[in-house]
Amino acid sequence: GAGVSQSPRYKVAKRGQDVALRCDPISGHVSLFWYQQALGQGPEFLTYFQNEAQLDKSGLPSDRFFAERPEGSVSTLKIQRTQQEDSAVYLCASSSSYNSPLHFGNGTRLTVT
């Protein structure tokens, strides 16, 4: 079956622009996660959804970052007024339950110029 799909694959934004990154999880997966991976680093947790409920957003670096999953499937990560330090790969992952492994998408590489 289809894996986790993320779009766009690449995004270039000028500093100050808003961006929206999309994640289509595996069908039926209730848990959805967003991670930020800077160059040469491990993924850093941003936020976690269980169905449509955002249960943990402790990793969001500032109030410019906002995530939603209104119908419990597709999720969008929005970054307002992008800054150069936001340049990273943004990874989405889903799982069927809390003790099931995460399945990752290929990520969206965001470059802020």
Least separation in angstroms between residue 105's CB and another protein is 6
Residues 24 and 6: their CA atoms lie apart, in Å, by 6
Report whether 17 contacts 84 (CB < 8 A).
no
18 binding another protein? (CB under 8 A): no
Q: Is residue 65 a contact point for another protein (CB under 8 A)?
A: no
Question: Which listed residue (34, 48, 65, 90) binds another protein by CB under 8 A?
Answer: 48
113/97 Cα distance (integer angstroms): 38
Nearer to another protein, 17 or 50 (CB): 50
